Structure 1
Amino acid sequence: MNAGGGVVSRFGSCPYLAMLIMSGNAAASGFSLLERDAAGLGRAYAGQAAVVSPAAVAFNPAAIPETTALSGNLAQLWNQVNPEDAGTQATVPSLYGTHRNIGLGVYGAFGLATDYPEDWEGRYQALYSGINAARVQLTSSWSVTDSLRLGAGVFLQYFEAELTNAVPTPFGDGRFKVEGDDTGFGWSLGALWSPSEQLDLGLSFASKVDHRLSGTATSPLGKQDASVPLTTPEVIRAGLRWRARPALSLLAGASWTRWSRLQSLDIQLGNGLMLSEQHRWRDTWRLDLGGEYERGPWTFRLGTAWDQAPIRDDSYRTPRLPDSDRTWLAAGLSYATGPWIFSTSYAHLWFANSQGEHPPVNYSARSNILALGLERTW
């Protein structure tokens, strides 16, 4: 990004939420985070909208369990972005609780971090870029018939960001930085239909959230107030779970994200100037397929997914987020003993090689994700 920099993180203004997500490259398209459930990662989140679990607070409010349950998850992401080895690591925790058709969850919703060296060729476009967003969500579900459940939720979303880039001066390169944060509200709806004991169908919708990030812009000329309007996208998820055998379940799903809401990043400076970067993102699809096999106290999982990138063409690919289509391959297992369930999962993501025009470089990326989860029911 040029001197029109962007936004990024200040943990100080909301320290509790900031603890919930440490910057990292988004594992889902754009800068979305899906790492909200350790067990779900083991099947690449295939059919997640049709899965009954405490993590349904974050995926489909109609699928929260009717039992009392508490679930904690921790995902570690290792991201590699080239050129210049700009990827970072991230730790993404989540926590859910359910009781009598009421669910409460705290989880990461969006995240991004790329960090380039001070002397790289694209330093006037980007040096450091970081986005963090966490949600606190309250949901409820109710039975309409024996086979149909509906759910609804509301959530508070805290969003913070910081973007930096170099700027040329007569005395060498200086630095431009914009940082800010904001809190907004959104809502979700969901349905879970079980036409037979073998089949579950889930559908959910999560609303947009309108933010106006308020903070400061710092340049070699000094510091001034800055604000950035930003809307995070709506998401529609559909999922299917088919119990093909008593011990075998097959899952599939599709998700649509309205990334076309991000057409430009406009920074309003306190001196009246407006800095803008064009993105022209498009809406995206995610398709996933997976399975679970139960044997005694063990559950084994496999899954794969394809995630479409929101970038239309090379002219809109920036080093802040050099996104491209990605393919997931995941595996995991759970062990149940009494009221406890321990889960662990691993996923590898391949990103399609891509090119940018500002600067004209080739990009490549890959990610590894390891997640641990612990669930207790009563």
Structure 2
Amino acid sequence: MHNKFNKLTWAVAVAAAAFASQANAGGYQINEQSVSGQGYGHAGRSSNVNDATIVFGNPAGMSFLDRAQLTAGGTYLNVSTDIDNASATRNGVPVHVDGSADGDIVPGTLVPFAFYAHPVNEQLAFGFGVYAPFGSKTEYEDGFVGRNLGNYTELRVISAQPTVSYRFNDQWSIGAGVTYNRVDGELHRQVANPFSPNNTDADIDARIEGDDDAWGYNLGVIFQPVPETTFGLTYRSKVSYTLTGDYRATDPSGLVDTFAPERLNRDAQLDLTTPETINFSVTQQMSDRLKLMAGASWTRWNRFDEILVTDPSGDVITQEEQDYTNAWAYALGGEYQLNPQLALRAGITLDFTPTSDEFRSARIPSDDRRVFSIGAGWTPMDNLTLDFAYSYLTERSTRVDQERGDSVFDPGAGGLVEGVSSTYSADYKNEAHGFGAQLTYRF
């Protein structure tokens, strides 16, 4: 295969990977950094200080902890997808193969985390956390009718965050953290064979793996005008990556780049910026036993207006419009202290998608979502708390209408020619169940 075909195929694959990483939900952010917070829908993420997970929620909150503590746990996500009315074409001809478009395209996933917070005195505190702020994975079956648009996507981001907090007085506290972020991505797509573009049995299996690391930061402030009322504000910075990776394409017989074996691995790069977020919440102690929380989050998604892939020399390989818009999420929750050992929690979250109908992808076909959560915290002894939570997520039904045009290399013409136009349409309905558990030990 010709070098230009390799470049083009790689670019489409990487571009789709970037899109998938950006579209995992009403935004792509993972919320699973606290099971105690999950129980009340993360409504008090920036203002409710329960345990060491406040290192992520609002670094300023560490100064409100009475002693050092370690919190570790995770949430298991079980996602199901109902796909109806699926159809696909190539150059106007319906694609059948197995004729399949099964649901349950997101494998069950455990999202772990661990945090440590250490108050030095009544004013100063330090902390550290390891968690997953972003991630997505979709995996269609081999015969997926829309496989030319993408049939496997996985992106993982792991962050490590050292943090410091300082409390000026009974009312004000500030905090700051630096994040080291590592991103790894992989995706697959079936690409038309340049020598037989209309023969689906001759499709090329195109795969790309890429990675990068980058630094970011977060800032937080807590204001407690009276002991019963706490306001929290947290800012998480954008993080800029330049993903680089290797491309590999294999035909059905297993041959790789037969006409140019020295070009088996191709290099390209994609600049990707994860957007900054702002979270504000308030926690109100209504009585000795009851407290209520409300919060709002804003994400600057309009940074993601296009996918631009270049080669190492800076030449543009592909450029695709995405046109994301800034998005909001809102949450309400509460916690009731049934007795000294047991706290009960509940919450609801509304999370709005930044994607539009025009650019919604088969890789992550999501829309606006609602999340209903319940939870409990059990403290059998003074230095140990076990938290459990369950969340049910349901998304608004949505539709994917996607079209892509790929050029192919024609040996006779000696260059790239108009080759393949692929379309995919389907109705999607997504829902998910989240089961969380965490342990907090106080020293």
Using the size of structure 2 for normalisation, the TM-score is: 0.78
SS, match of residue 245 in structure 1: coil
1:302 maps onto 2:346 in alignment: yes
Q: 198-207 or 26-35, which moves further after superposition?
A: 26-35
SS, match of residue 48 in structure 1: coil
Residue 6 of structure 1 aligns with which residue? 14
Residue 17 of structure 1 aligns with which residue? none
Kept in 1, the 8 Å contact 2:21–2:28? The answer is: no
Residue 12 of structure 1 aligns with which residue? none
Residue 76 of structure 1 aligns with which residue? 76
Among 179, 184, 198, the alignment partner of 2:228 is 198
Residue 333 of structure 2 aligns with which residue? 290
Residue 227 of structure 1 aligns with which residue? 269
Residue 392 of structure 2 aligns with which residue? 348
Kept in 2, the 8 Å contact 1:103–1:138? The answer is: yes
Residue 135 of structure 2 aligns with which residue? 111
Among 147, 155, 170, the alignment partner of 2:179 is 155
Q: Which amino acid aligns with 2:382?
A: G
Residue 112 of structure 2 aligns with which residue? 93
Q: Which has the larger radius of gyration?
A: 2
Among 163, 186, 206, the alignment partner of 1:139 is 163
Residue 58 of structure 2 aligns with which residue? 60
SS, match of residue 44 in structure 1: coil
Query: Could you say if the C-alpha distance between residues 228 and 344 of structure 1 is closer, same or farther in structure 2, counting changes exceeding 3 Å?
Result: same
Q: Which amino acid aligns with 1:328?
A: V
Residue 28 of structure 1 deviates from its aligned partner by 5.0
Q: Please give the alpha-carbon distance, in whole angstroms, between the structure 1 residues aligned to 2:134 and 2:268.
A: 22
Residue 247 of structure 2 aligns with which residue? 217
SS, match of residue 37 in structure 2: helix
Residue 81 of structure 1 deviates from its aligned partner by 2.5
Q: Please give the alpha-carbon distance, in whole angstroms, between the structure 2 residues aligned to 1:265 and 1:116.
A: 23
Q: Which amino acid aligns with 1:128?
A: Y
Q: Please give the alpha-carbon distance, in whole angstroms, between the structure 1 residues aligned to 2:442 and 2:353.
A: 38
**What per-residue deviation string (whole Å, max 9, x for no partner) do you get for residues 128-152 of structure 1?**
0111001100111111222111111
Q: Please give the alpha-carbon distance, in whole angstroms, between the structure 2 residues aligned to 1:8 and 1:39.
A: 35
Residue 97 of structure 2 aligns with which residue? none
**What per-residue deviation string (whole Å, max 9, x for no partner) do you get for residues 295-314 of structure 1?**
22100000001000010x21
Kindly report structure 1 stretches of 4+ aligned residues shifted beyond 3 Å. Answer: 23-28, 269-273
Query: Could you say if the C-alpha distance between residues 369 and 98 of structure 1 is closer, same or farther in structure 2, counting changes exceeding 3 Å?
Result: same
1:238 maps onto 2:299 in alignment: no
Residue 117 of structure 1 deviates from its aligned partner by 1.9
Among 355, 360, 376, the alignment partner of 1:317 is 360
Kept in 1, the 8 Å contact 2:308–2:316? The answer is: no
Kept in 2, the 8 Å contact 1:25–1:79? The answer is: no
Kept in 1, the 8 Å contact 2:208–2:247? The answer is: yes
SS, match of residue 31 in structure 1: coil
**What per-residue deviation string (whole Å, max 9, x for no partner) do you get for residues 334-365 of structure 1?**
11122000000000000000011112211110
Q: Map of 1:31-42 to 2, 5 A cutoff?
A: 31-42=28-39
Query: Could you say if the C-alpha distance between residues 223 and 270 of structure 1 is closer, same or farther in structure 2, counting changes exceeding 3 Å?
Result: farther
Q: Please give the alpha-carbon distance, in whole angstroms, between the structure 2 residues aligned to 1:40 and 1:279.
A: 32
Q: Which amino acid aligns with 1:180?
A: G
Kept in 1, the 8 Å contact 2:25–2:366? The answer is: no
Query: Could you say if the C-alpha distance between residues 351 and 37 of structure 1 is closer, same or farther in structure 2, counting changes exceeding 3 Å?
Result: same
**What per-residue deviation string (whole Å, max 9, x for no partner) do you get for residues 135-171 of structure 1?**
1001111112221111111110111111221111126
Q: Which amino acid aligns with 2:48?
A: V
Q: Please give the alpha-carbon distance, in whole angstroms, between the structure 2 residues aligned to 1:54 and 1:26.
A: 29
SS, match of residue 361 in structure 2: coil
SS, match of residue 39 in structure 1: helix
Kept in 2, the 8 Å contact 1:27–1:34? The answer is: no
Among 138, 142, 145, the alignment partner of 1:121 is 145
CA RMSD of aligned residues (A): 2.1
Aligned length: 363
**What per-residue deviation string (whole Å, max 9, x for no partner) do you get for residues 50-83 of structure 1?**
0113111112111122520000011100111242
The percent identity for this pair of structures is 27
Residue 280 of structure 1 deviates from its aligned partner by 1.4
Q: Please give the alpha-carbon distance, in whole angstroms, between the structure 1 residues aligned to 2:36 and 2:216.
A: 26
